């Protein structure tokens, strides 16, 4: 990451960094990387489940590393993202909204901004789900351009219409062909990622990343632009192969888009 020119990182999935907060902070400092935050899958719609113990553990990592954005996905409680999603009743939506409020308060008390990440296979996936959150809560969003598109939300329109609700951004590009194969049931979401037919490096798919970036910057957005692309790696890639090449291409594309703005303010 440092060799490519990245200067910041999410804390990553379990095992990416050492387990203890101080160790995470030391590892990031060793490589000159700023901590952004982390992706935390939690059940938020079940009144019998308390998400706060997990959230507090994450915030302990943040206190040590200086991370500033908590990214929560409202998972179903089932394993993986291909299981059939439950349809929430109003009481479950109300529970989800209350949990979002409490998490936001707990995070803010420790100097962290909490966000909700709409995600394939979670209870906030579809355009209808996203609209319910917009209308029924004050939650801020981790704006994931890929997951929103797959769920049926136009990411260009979302950036233009809801910039004030966006606290951080996961920039992803998506292949419409791969997306439609998943939606049509030809291949599971997981298998599509293994086959590498769903997500593309920025600029090589069907998301208008340039329009989204320009819209965000024009709106006064000052949050993170995180280059995150879902991958399944089954064995250690050889040097300069595998996900690093997608990361290299995505960073080059984003830099080019931002360079186009030189002189525009």
CA distance 30 to 99: 36
Q: What is the pLDDT of residue 241?
A: 83
pLDDT digits (tens, 9 = 90+) for 204-246: 999 999 999 999 999 999 999 999 888 888 889 888 788 999 9
User: Minimal CA–CA distance to 131: which of 167, 170, 157, 102?
Assistant: 157
Q: How confident is the model at residue 14 (pLDDT cuts 50, 70, 90)?
A: confident
Instruction: Give DSSP secondary structure letters for 182-225.
Output: HHTTSS-HHHHHHTT-SEE-TTSSSS-HHHHHHHHHHTT--S-E
Q: In whole angstroms, what is the distance from residue 229 CA to residue 227 CA? A: 7
Average pLDDT over residues 120-126: 97
% of the chain residues with pLDDT over 70: 99
- Average pLDDT of the residues of the chain: 94
pLDDT at position 263: 61
Q: Has this prediction a pTM greater than 0.85?
A: yes
CA pseudo-torsion sign 251, 257, 259, 261:
negative
- Summarised one tens digit per residue, pLDDT across range 137-195 is 999 999 999 999 999 999 999 999 999 999 999 999 999 999 999 999 999 999 999 99
Strands (E), the chain: 8-9, 34-35, 37-42, 69-74, 113-116, 141-144, 166-171, 173-174, 199-200, 225-227
pLDDT of residue 80: 87
Residue 13 has pLDDT above 90, yes or no: no
- Is it the case that residue 265 has pLDDT exceeding 60? no
Examine the pLDDT at 69 and tell me if it is beyond 70: yes
- Looking only at the bridges linking them, the beta strands covering 69-74 and 37-42 are parallel
């Amino acid at each position: 990451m440092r060799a490519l020119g990245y200067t910041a990182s999410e804390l990553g999935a379990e095992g990416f960094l050492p387990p203890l907060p101080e160790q995470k902070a030391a590892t990031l400092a060793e490589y000159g990387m700023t901590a952004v935050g982390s992706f935390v899958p939690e059940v938020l719609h079940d009144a019998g489940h308390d998400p706060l113990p997990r959230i507090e553990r994450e915030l302990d990592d943040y206190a040590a590393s200086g991370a500033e954005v908590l990214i929560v996905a409202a998972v179903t409680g089932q394993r993986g993202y291909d299981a059939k999603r439950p349809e929430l009743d109003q009481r479950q939506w109300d529970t989800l909204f209350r949990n979002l409020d409490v998490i936001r308060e707990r995070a803010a008390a420790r100097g962290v901004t909490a966000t909700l990440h709409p995600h394939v296979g979670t209870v906030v996936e579809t355009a209808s789900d996203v609209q319910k959150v917009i209308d029924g809560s004050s939650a801020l969003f981790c704006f994931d351009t890929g997951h929103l598109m797959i769920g049926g939300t136009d990411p260009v329109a979302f950036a233009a219409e809801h910039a004030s609700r966006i606290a951080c951004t996961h920039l992803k590009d998506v292949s419409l062909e791969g997306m439609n194969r998943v939606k049509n049931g030809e291949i599971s979401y997981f298998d599509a990622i293994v086959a590498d037919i769903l997500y593309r490096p920025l600029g090589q798919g069907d998301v208008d990343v340039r329009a989204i970036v320009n819209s965000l910057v024009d709106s006064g957005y000052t949050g993170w632009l995180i280059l995150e692309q879902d991958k399944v790696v089954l064995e250690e890639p050889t040097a300069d192969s595998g996900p690093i090449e997608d990361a290299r291409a995505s960073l080059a594309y984003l830099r080019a888009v931002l360079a186009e703005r030189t002189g525009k303010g």
